[in-house]
Amino acid sequence: MAHFPKPFFRSARNAWFVQIGPKQVKLAAEKDEAFIRFPELVERFVVTLERAGNTVLLAGSTQNRPARLRVISAESTTECLVFLWTITPGGGGAGVRPANERRIQITNVGGFPLQPGIRTILVGWSPEAGVWSFWDPRRHSAFSPRSPSLQTNAQLLETAGARGLATQLRPATEGREIVVSVSADFLPWYVQQGEPLHNADVDADHVADLIDATPEAERELIDSSQSSDEAARRYELVQTMRAFRDARFRPIVLHAYSYRCAVCGTALKLVDAAHIVPVYHPQGGDEVTNGLALCRLHHGAFDAGLIGVRSDYRIIVNPAAANRLVEAQLDAGLDRFRDALPPSIQVPASIEVRPTPRNLRIGLEVRQLPPLLIA
């Protein structure tokens, strides 16, 4: 082993040691944690959510746990209490704890309050794997003050880093719990929609299979339930994993379009990833070539079939949809809307990520634009 001239040093595994005479003594987790302090962890959490297009409001200071956040997206607002620590290797000397154990050390909190309408998030950040891990606060309301640490393992963190998501069923303070790990792209999904994963129960091992499941496979999982409770739980699980699929699609598409609407060029964190061929369609997929970055206004108009994009990228207005708006006396602003449309969408510079002509054609057919305009 190398000689360390200073009394403190960090191992390859990111643990901190102190040299006392000839001995190397591992420091307590509180000391480990001092190297990513709570306010910095919260900042990382907030910045990751904001990069994904959310607005995050912090209530009060981030000096003490929990941090109180309001996370606002296009679809929802989520109030959260965030208890956050750094994930470190297990304590003790060699052989005391399994080498692949990873954990958070619960410090300076008395418990995890559960209140209706507020999400209590019990989370660790792993600098080693670059992922977030979430424990189930309902299973730790009476955690032991003598050994206040929550475990997971290095494989789970690695899998989450590689695939975006990993789950693990493990013993908890009360019963068993499902630990959920996600990479940075999926933090917003977990905060807003991932909670039902902790209820996966016996399906914990199949959660990852649901990511790319067909509608038939989803149906089969729900239909094979033994009780209506189980069916309801599985239905929620299927919805949660559909949202995961959207969360996977979004950053790829937004990145390709530099976070700007393909129609009007607006950024302003008001841009969504739209499917050209809808996901419910047999040809609908999550490839970037089936996506368009659109602002909220143009996404709504596109999904409703008021505007369409031809295979030569020209933007067309659907006369039938416009007429329906006139008949319903909901056509205020239609002329201004139409006049502001450019002739064509802005496509990414790189050809491989542009929408394919085939997807654009199916997209127009599905939304019932007149065949004459599609050709």
Question: What does the binding site for Zn ion look like in residue numbers (CB under 5 A)?
Answer: 261, 263-264, 266, 295, 298
Task: Count how many Cα atoms sit within 13 Å of the Cα of residue 370 in the half-sphere of its side chain.
Answer: 9
Q: How far is the CB of 243 from Zn ion (least distance, A)?
A: 23
User: What's the token pair of residue 268?
Assistant: 């302003």
To Zn ion, the closest distance from the beta carbon of 270 in angstroms equals 8
Residue 206 or 296 with smaller CB distance to Zn ion: 296
Helices (H), the chain: 29-33, 38-51, 154-163, 187-193, 215-223, 228-256, 296-303, 319-327, 334-339, 357-366, 371-374
d(CA 363, CA 158): 38
Q: Which is nearer to Zn ion, 104 or 261 (CB)?
A: 261
Q: Which is nearer to Zn ion, 243 or 270 (CB)?
A: 270
Report, in Å, the least distance between residue 298 CB and Zn ion.
4
Mapping DSSP to helix (H, G, I), strand (E, B) and coil, where does residue 47 land?
Answer: helix
At its nearest, how many Å lie between Zn ion and the CB of residue 295?
Answer: 3
Q: Which is nearer to Zn ion, 154 or 256 (CB)?
A: 256
- Least Å distance, CB 77 to Zn ion, is 23
Would you call the peptide bond into 127 cis, given omega within 30 degrees of 0 as the criterion? no
Nearest one of 40, 168, 34, 146 to 100, comparing CA atoms: 168
Of 187 and 295, the one with the shorter C-beta distance to Zn ion is 295
Which two tokens mark 347?
């496509």
Please state, in angstroms and rounded to a whole number, the distance separating the CA atoms of residues 230 and 183: 28
